[in-house]
Amino acid sequence: MRLPKLDLNLFVVFESIYEKRNLTRVAEALFITQPAVSNALARMRKAFDDPLFVSTPSGMVPTPLTENIIGRVREALQLLEASASEGDVFVPATSRRTFRLSMPDLTEAILLPLLGEVLQQQAPGMSIESYFTPRSDVSSALATRKIDFAIDVPLIDDPQLHQAPLGSDHYACMLRPDHPFEGDALTLDDYLALGHIQVSSRRQGSGLVDAELRKLGRERRIQMRVQHYMVAPLVALRTDLALTAPMHLLQRQEARILELPFELPKLEWHLYWHRSSEQDQASIWLGGKIVEILSGLAATPELPTRKRRVAKVS
């Protein structure tokens, strides 16, 4: 096969079939007819002398050849797109770009209010969409431009991705202001005597706190499991349950915040982006703003002094 004889638009169809596994959805996404998609696939099959995709009841299944070349095809398409826009002058004040970010709800609560303020002042026409992408899907989502940036812990290892550290945070324990616990410091026995809130998007399984306690041969009593960090403080403020969470979240609450009586690893955040976007001026600008905002919060906040206890309102 000689590349000059093959329409490069066929690779756009090829990549879309790989992503969607359905010719009708490909036609809708590319605003062409289904016969046009079928014709493009037929031309690609002839050029590569391979079926490329096999039709099954569950969709179009890629052949081994397709699996072998899809990564390079995607990278080539992204480089072509970046090259086409490289000459464009990026002016934040007039940009109307939409960027899609992936991050957990805790990071979303910390970043988006500050980022929204920056955009309102410097890039009012720019739009932000925030999603949560499972860690196992982040590399693929960045490669296919489903998302432009991801913020996660430093556990993603992919040579196609670039990353930048965004700072760290440490965990503490939150109790409501008029909690029955009278002390100013928690012993391990005090901590384990409390009922606890666990934050996890999974249906079952333990988290970091429980893993560290197991190393000590101890176990806490979890009385409520919630999906999101932003819900957990609301529960803790209305109950006698304790919440163990990062300080950047807890310091926003009118609550008692106590040091943990055992060691926990710090929580770290990294910003991830695909290398194909490293020449895109708008991406460079936005990524720089995200790094600037979160790195500026990197200093570990101090525990607030204990507030005067208030009477419980029935």
Q: Are residues 36 and 147 in the same domain?
A: no
Domain annotation covers residue 20: yes
Structural domain harbouring 216: 171-265
Domain-ending residue, one of 86, 117, 151 = 86
Taking residues 11-28, what's their average pLDDT? 91
Tens digit of each residue's pLDDT (9 = 90 or more) over 195-217: 999 988 777 666 889 999 999 99
Average pLDDT over residues 89-95: 87
| CATH number, domain containing residue 42 | 1.10.10.10
pLDDT score, position 182: 87
Q: Are residues 187 and 241 in the same domain?
A: yes
CATH code (residue 176): 3.40.190.10
Q: Is residue 78 part of a domain?
A: yes
pLDDT bin (cut points 50, 70, 90) of residue 154 is confident
CA nearest neighbour of 148 among 14, 278, 296, 13: 278
For residues 112 and 161, state if they share a domain.
yes
Do residue 102 and residue 75 come from a single domain? no
Residue 256 domain-assigned? Answer: yes
| Residue 201 and residue 287 in one domain | no
Residue 15 falls within a domain, yes or no?
yes
- Are residues 98 and 242 both part of a single domain? no
Do 149 and 272 lie in one domain? The reply is yes
> Do 142 and 208 share a structural domain?
no
Residues 134, 105, 279, 157, CA torsion sign: negative
Question: Which residue did the predictor score with more confidence, 79 or 102?
Answer: 102
> What's the pLDDT tens digit per position in 106-127?
888 889 999 999 999 999 999 9
Last residue of a domain, one of 223, 248, 265: 265
Q: Is position 72 within any domain?
A: yes
Q: What does 18-72 look like in DSSP terms, one character per residue?
A: HHH--HHHHHHHHTS-HHHHHHHHHHHHHHHTS--EEEETTEEEEPHHHHHHHHH
Q: Is 242 helix (H, G, I), strand (E, B) or coil?
A: strand
Torsion-angle region of 258 (φ positive above 0: left; ψ -120 to 50: alpha; else: beta): beta
Q: Is 241 a domain residue?
A: yes
Give the C-alpha separation, 222 to 210, whole Å.
10
Instruction: Establish if 51 belongs to a structural domain.
Output: yes
Give yes or no for residue 223 having a pLDDT over 50.
yes
The pair of structure tokens assigned to 48 is 């590569």
Is there a single domain that holds both residue 156 and residue 232? no
Is residue 136 domain-shared with residue 183, that is, in the same domain? no
Cα angle for residues 57, 60, 66 (degrees, 5° grid): 150
Q: What is the total count of domains within the chain?
A: 3
Residue 310 lies in a domain: no
Q: Residue 158 carries which side chain, given as an amino acid letter?
A: D
In terms of domains, do 164 and 273 share one? yes
185 versus 81: the higher-pLDDT residue is 185
272 and 165 together in one domain? yes
Give pLDDT, residue 204. 66
Given a cut of 70, is residue 85 above it in pLDDT?
no
